[in-house]
């Protein structure tokens, strides 16, 4: 493409699309390096052809992660991106350029780890956390204070001395490798799309509207820059040491560097050592230490001149394809998997990599015995990024996607508007039957201790169970004699099965493996319909009237309960004592006391749990909402109400009520009442 105008237009379109995938969908399609190379090319072309400049070009903006579910806050100081490079020579050139700009003054630099997460800015006043805001578009971000408060490594109140009355501290929210692997294992069991890397998982988690789920995910945070008018020191390094004393997690990798040779040694040391860290990293950051020198160096339109990021190249290996297997999931989805000659990559041996679907296989044009490029970079999930066609045997055959289920032989069907091919033999295909058992016993479903993937298979293959209802007929003796389980394991399984009878109805709905009914949808359904009998009889119109239930989910629910076998299993579960309705708060009755009222809950309560208050709101005709807006009627506030919610409710003049006042409003008169806060 020789026409500069066409190339510039193409690059802008591509970069805008990749920005959206990265910041909004948290689902990047290309590597950071490829993105940066495209951006550099566009910057060069725009410099060469200033007449083609466009104020809306991606070169004039920072990618955005703004969402509609959070209040947007303007940053007091813009959060700019760092200039970055993949070349040690370019880092050295930057060091020389900084020195020259400072009139030959040799600056002390600070070398730091570049954590691969999502940026955050925290505001503190008088030693207390006031607000947490994502980077967003650099000028404004999302207020995620409530979610940030669930991260245990972030101090809500500070300790120590020399704390400014007000300051801002910036850092990175990360998901440690252990938490990331645990999350993806659960998503694999649920047949949900896996997160490509901890960065995407951290960004997605921080934007969840349910703080309790954010808390369960196990986010962590590292901080790297202090901003304010009355900082303790005149240099970055000492300020961060002081922040560490106040309670912030500051990386031990932070090091003072006095020469270009020190910088090069720092890069070479961390190139391999970083792989031993408990969190993902994708590079290093170098900053001028003196705040006076930082001020003299200033900023470009997009980044500070006093800092640069060096990014480690993604790890890539070339290995031989042994064969492609086709695996059947719980919902019948067929996933192609590349089985590889073992290759060492990012400290682990890679033998398998998902090819995701038929479209990806066709796009890569994989042939039998091909040499495949496998990449991990900052990602723990290996992916096939290309084929070495020069090494291909000219007689090799193209890998063809299967047309029949590899487990039961049933012809596959492709769902409309989806890439997946599916085995429709839901009730006769062994991997699907075992998968539903494995899902049912999972931690976030029925949480039956002692039964995981392997034991689900053993129970099915030995004939001890054929479906989830059979679990409740098992005895410890059967498990020991037929299943080959030890005494303690058998007892633990029976105890877990008995305990599962107390699992709330919303988790039972999730455990049933109704297509498209994940954890969040199951909660919506359970709280809206109250019992299984109502759910089984609802029409398409009634189901789609429930918030967030679209036609596809509604049709799937109707199809599920139209199968006699599924209804039979429901009745057997009911007879076994599994909960098939929502437990109502004792003594609670329905009314219209809160009809048409939107209520936000914040804080910790003494008389009922948050979930119980949500149920009471719905029982009395009200609506639970996650964030405060002009349409909010009340904020039900307990102890430790989120400071951002308090500030916004006060600003908008929304009544803040405590739990005694709330209970009085719904007709509970046995408590002392207090006036509006």
Rounded-to-integer distance, Cα 530 and Cα 262, Å: 65
Extract the tokens encoding 379: 């990602």
Q: Does 261 map to a domain?
A: yes
437 contact partners, CB below 8 Å, separation of at least 6: 451, 456, 459, 460, 465, 467, 468, 471
What pLDDT, on a 0 to 100 scale, did the predictor assign at position 284?
Answer: 96
Neighbours of 395 (CB within 10 A): 8
Task: State whether 360 and 237 are in the same domain.
Answer: no
Write the pLDDT tens digit of every residue in 75-92: 988 898 888 898 999 999
Using the predicted structure, report yes or no on whether residue 640 has a pLDDT greater than 70. Answer: no
**Contact by Cβ (8 Å): 91, 308:** yes
Q: Does 587 map to a domain?
A: no
Q: Does 225 map to a domain?
A: yes
User: 474 or 68, which is more confident?
Assistant: 474
Write the pLDDT tens digit of every residue in 183-231: 888 877 766 667 778 888 898 889 887 787 888 899 999 999 999 999 9
Task: State whether 132 and 207 are in the same domain.
Answer: yes
Q: Does 640 map to a domain?
A: yes
Among residues 328, 519, 545, 534, the alpha carbon closest in space to that of 421 is found at: 328
Rounded-to-integer distance, Cα 383 and Cα 365, Å: 15
11 to 18, 52, 237, 381, 519: CA distances (angstroms): 10, 13, 39, 28, 39
Write the pLDDT tens digit of every residue in 89-139: 999 999 999 999 999 888 999 999 999 999 999 999 999 999 999 998 888
| Element (DSSP H or E) covering residue 343 | strand 334-345
List alpha helices for 49-189, DSSP H: 88-101, 145-148, 177-189
Q: Band the pLDDT of 675: cuts 50, 70, 90.
A: very low
Task: State whether 222 and 81 are in the same domain.
Answer: yes
What pLDDT, on a 0 to 100 scale, did the predictor assign at position 401?
Answer: 94
335 contact partners, CB below 8 Å, separation of at least 6: 326, 327, 329, 354, 355, 356, 357
What percentage of the chain has pLDDT greater than the value 90?
46
Task: State whether 295 and 183 are in the same domain.
Answer: yes
What pLDDT, on a 0 to 100 scale, did the predictor assign at position 587?
Answer: 43
Of the residues 60, 88, 105, which one is the last residue of a structural domain?
Answer: 60
Of the residues 311, 346, 372, which one is the last residue of a structural domain?
Answer: 311
Q: Band the pLDDT of 672: cuts 50, 70, 90.
A: very low
Rounded-to-integer distance, Cα 123 and Cα 579, Å: 45
Among 5, 114, 383, 523, the one annotated catalytic: 114
Task: State whether 32 and 103 are in the same domain.
Answer: no
What pLDDT, on a 0 to 100 scale, did the predictor assign at position 60?
Answer: 67
Q: Band the pLDDT of 463: cuts 50, 70, 90.
A: very high
What pLDDT, on a 0 to 100 scale, did the predictor assign at position 677?
Answer: 32
Extract the tokens encoding 664: 């009085």
Write the pLDDT tens digit of every residue in 241-279: 999 999 999 999 999 999 999 999 999 999 888 878 889
| Residue-range definition of the domain harbouring residue 31 | 4-60
Extract the tokens encoding 657: 């009520």
Rounded-to-integer distance, Cα 510 and Cα 516, Å: 10
The SS3 of residue 411 is strand
Dihedral of CA atoms 129, 135, 141, 143 in degrees, nearest 10, equals: -30
Using the predicted structure, report yes or no on whether residue 562 has a pLDDT greater than 90. Answer: yes
581 contact partners, CB below 8 Å, separation of at least 6: 505, 530, 531, 532
CATH of the domain at 342: 2.40.50.140
Rounded-to-integer distance, Cα 505 and Cα 525, Å: 10
Write the pLDDT tens digit of every residue in 643-670: 777 878 888 889 999 888 898 888 764 4
Q: Band the pLDDT of 375: cuts 50, 70, 90.
A: confident
User: 506 or 65, which is more confident?
Assistant: 506
Write the pLDDT tens digit of every residue in 523-537: 889 878 889 999 999
DSSP designation for 194: P
Q: Does 672 map to a domain?
A: no
Task: State whether 163 and 301 are in the same domain.
Answer: yes
Rounded-to-integer distance, Cα 269 and Cα 48, Å: 39
673 to 474, 589, 593, 608, 677: CA distances (angstroms): 52, 20, 17, 16, 12
What pLDDT, on a 0 to 100 scale, did the predictor assign at position 554?
Answer: 93
Report phi then psi at 590, rounded to 5. -80, 150
What pLDDT, on a 0 to 100 scale, did the predictor assign at position 346?
Answer: 64
CATH of the domain at 13: 1.10.287.610
**Contact by Cβ (8 Å): 330, 438:** yes
Task: State whether 270 and 298 are in the same domain.
Answer: yes
**Contact by Cβ (8 Å): 449, 494:** no
**Contact by Cβ (8 Å): 283, 224:** no
Tally of domains in the chain? 5
Tracing tokens 């245990």 back to the chain, one arrives at: 152
Q: Does 19 map to a domain?
A: yes
Task: State whether 229 and 333 are in the same domain.
Answer: no
| Element (DSSP H or E) covering residue 134 | strand 128-134
Least confident of 32-36, 487-491, 537-541: 32-36
Q: Does 516 map to a domain?
A: yes
497 to 349, 383, 397, 468, 524: CA distances (angstroms): 37, 38, 50, 11, 25
Task: State whether 113 and 179 are in the same domain.
Answer: yes
Is 114 assigned a catalytic role? yes
What pLDDT, on a 0 to 100 scale, did the predictor assign at position 493?
Answer: 92
Q: Band the pLDDT of 588: cuts 50, 70, 90.
A: low
Burial 24-58 (b: 16+ CB within 10 A, else e): eebebeebbbebeebbeebeebbeeeeeeeeeebb
User: What is this structure's pTM?
Assistant: 0.55
User: 337 or 648, which is more confident?
Assistant: 337
Task: State whether 118 and 250 are in the same domain.
Answer: yes
The SS3 of residue 400 is coil
What percentage of the chain has pLDDT greater than the value 70?
92
Task: State whether 543 and 609 are in the same domain.
Answer: no
Of the residues 414, 439, 471, which one is the last residue of a structural domain?
Answer: 414
Q: Does 199 map to a domain?
A: yes
The SS3 of residue 422 is strand
Using the predicted structure, report yes or no on whether residue 307 has a pLDDT greater than 80. Answer: yes
Rounded-to-integer distance, Cα 15 and Cα 57, Å: 9
Extract the tokens encoding 323: 């064969």
Using the predicted structure, report yes or no on whether residue 452 has a pLDDT greater than 90. Answer: no
Neighbours of 300 (CB within 10 A): 9
What pLDDT, on a 0 to 100 scale, did the predictor assign at position 28?
Answer: 72
CATH of the domain at 637: 3.40.50.10190
CATH of the domain at 445: 1.10.150.20
614 to 528, 554, 610, 625, 644: CA distances (angstroms): 12, 24, 6, 10, 21
Q: Band the pLDDT of 496: cuts 50, 70, 90.
A: very high
- Give the angle subtended at the CA of 181 by the CAs of 180 and 184, to the nearest 5°: 85
In this structure, which long-range contacts are made by residues 422-426, counting pairs with CB atoms below 8 Å and at least 24 apart in sequence?
A: 422/331, 422/332, 422/333, 422/334, 423/328, 423/332, 423/334, 424/332, 425/332, 426/332
| Residue range 5-24: mean pLDDT, rounded | 78
Q: What rounded mean pLDDT belongs to the chain?
A: 86
| Element (DSSP H or E) covering residue 166 | strand 166-174
User: 375 or 636, which is more confident?
Assistant: 636
Task: State whether 380 and 451 are in the same domain.
Answer: no
Q: Kindly calculate the radius of gyration of the chain based on its CA atoms and give it in whole angstroms.
A: 28
Rounded-to-integer distance, Cα 668 and Cα 677, Å: 19
Using the predicted structure, report yes or no on whether residue 50 has a pLDDT greater than 80. Answer: yes
What pLDDT, on a 0 to 100 scale, did the predictor assign at position 671?
Answer: 36
């Amino acid at each position: 493409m020789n026409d500069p105008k066409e190339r510039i237009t193409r690059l802008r379109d591509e970069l805008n699309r990749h920005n959206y995938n990265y910041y909004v969908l948290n689902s990047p399609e290309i590597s950071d390096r490829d993105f940066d190379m495209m951006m550099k090319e566009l910057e060069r072309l725009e410099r060469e052809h200033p007449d083609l400049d466009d104020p809306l070009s991606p070169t004039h903006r920072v990618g955005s992660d703004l969402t509609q579910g959070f209040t947007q806050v303007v940053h007091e100081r813009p959060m700019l991106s760092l200039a970055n490079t993949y070349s040690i020579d370019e880092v050295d050139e930057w060091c020389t350029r900084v020195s020259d700009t400072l009139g030959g003054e040799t600056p002390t630099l600070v070398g730091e780890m570049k954590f691969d997460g999502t940026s955050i800015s925290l505001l503190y006043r008088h030693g207390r956390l006031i607000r947490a805001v994502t980077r967003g578009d650099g000028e404004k971000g999302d207020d995620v204070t409530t979610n940030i408060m669930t991260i245990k490594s972030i101090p809500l109140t500070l300790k120590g001395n020399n704390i400014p009355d007000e300051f801002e501290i910036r850092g990175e929210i990360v998901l440690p490798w252990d938490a990331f692997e645990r999350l993806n294992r659960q998503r694999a069991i649920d047949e949900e799309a896996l997160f490509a890397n901890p960065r995407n998982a951290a960004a997605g988690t921080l934007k969840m509207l349910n703080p309790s789920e954010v808390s369960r995910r196990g986010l962590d945070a590292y901080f790297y820059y202090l901003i304010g008018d009355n900082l303790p020191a005149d240099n970055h390094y000492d300020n961060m040491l002081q922040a560490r004393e106040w309670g912030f997690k500051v990386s031990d990798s932070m090091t003072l560097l006095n020469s270009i040779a020190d910088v090069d040694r720092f890069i070479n040391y961390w190139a391999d050592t970083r792989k031993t860290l408990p969190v993902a990293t994708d590079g290093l950051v170098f900053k001028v230490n003196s705040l006076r020198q930082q001020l003299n160096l200033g900023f470009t339109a997009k980044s500070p001149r006093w800092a640069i990021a060096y990014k480690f190249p993604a790890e890539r290996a070339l290995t031989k394809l042994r064969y492609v297997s086709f695996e059947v999931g719980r919902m019948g989805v067929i996933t192609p998997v590349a089985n590889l000659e073992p290759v060492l990559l990012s400290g682990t041996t890679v033998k398998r990599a998902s090819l995701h679907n038929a479209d990806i296989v066709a796009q890569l044009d994989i042939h039998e015995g091909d040499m495949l490029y496998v990449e991990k970079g900052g990602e723990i999930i290996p992916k096939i990024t290309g084929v070495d066609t020069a090494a291909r045997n000219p007689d090799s055959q193209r890998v063809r996607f299967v047309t029949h289920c590899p487990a039961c032989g049933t012809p596959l069907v492709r769902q409309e508007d989806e890439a997946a091919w599916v085995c429709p033999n839901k009730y006769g295909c062994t991997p699907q039957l075992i998968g539903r058992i494995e899902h049912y016993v999972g931690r976030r479903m029925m949480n039956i201790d002692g039964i995981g993937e392997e034991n689900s298979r053993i129970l099915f293959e030995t004939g001890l169970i054929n479906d989830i209802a059979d679990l409740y007929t098992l005895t410890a003796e059967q498990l020991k004699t037929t299943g080959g389980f030890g005494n303690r394991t058998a007892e633990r399984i029976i105890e877990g099965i008995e305990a599962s009878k107390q699992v709330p109805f919303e988790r039972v709905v999730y455990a049933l493996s109704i297509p498209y009914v994940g954890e969040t949808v199951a909660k919506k359904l359970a709280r809206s319909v109250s019992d299984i009998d109502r759910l089984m009889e609802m029409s398409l119109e009634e189901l789609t009237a429930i918030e967030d239930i679209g036609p596809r989910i509604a049709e799937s629910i109707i199809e599920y309960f139209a199968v006699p076998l599924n209804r039979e299993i429901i009745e057997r579960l009911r007879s076994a004592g599994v909960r098939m309705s929502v437990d109502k708060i004792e003594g609670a009755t329905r009314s219209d006391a809160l009809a048409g009222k939107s209520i936000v809950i914040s804080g910790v309560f003494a008389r009922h749990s948050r979930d119980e208050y949500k149920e009471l709101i719905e029982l009395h005709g009200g609506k639970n909402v996650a964030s405060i807006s002009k349409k909010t009627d009340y904020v039900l506030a307990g102890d430790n109400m989120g400071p951002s919610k308090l500030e916004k409710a006060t600003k908008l003049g929304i009544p803040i009520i405590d739990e005694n006042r709330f209970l009085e409003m719904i007709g509970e008169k046995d408590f002392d009442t207090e006036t509006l806060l």
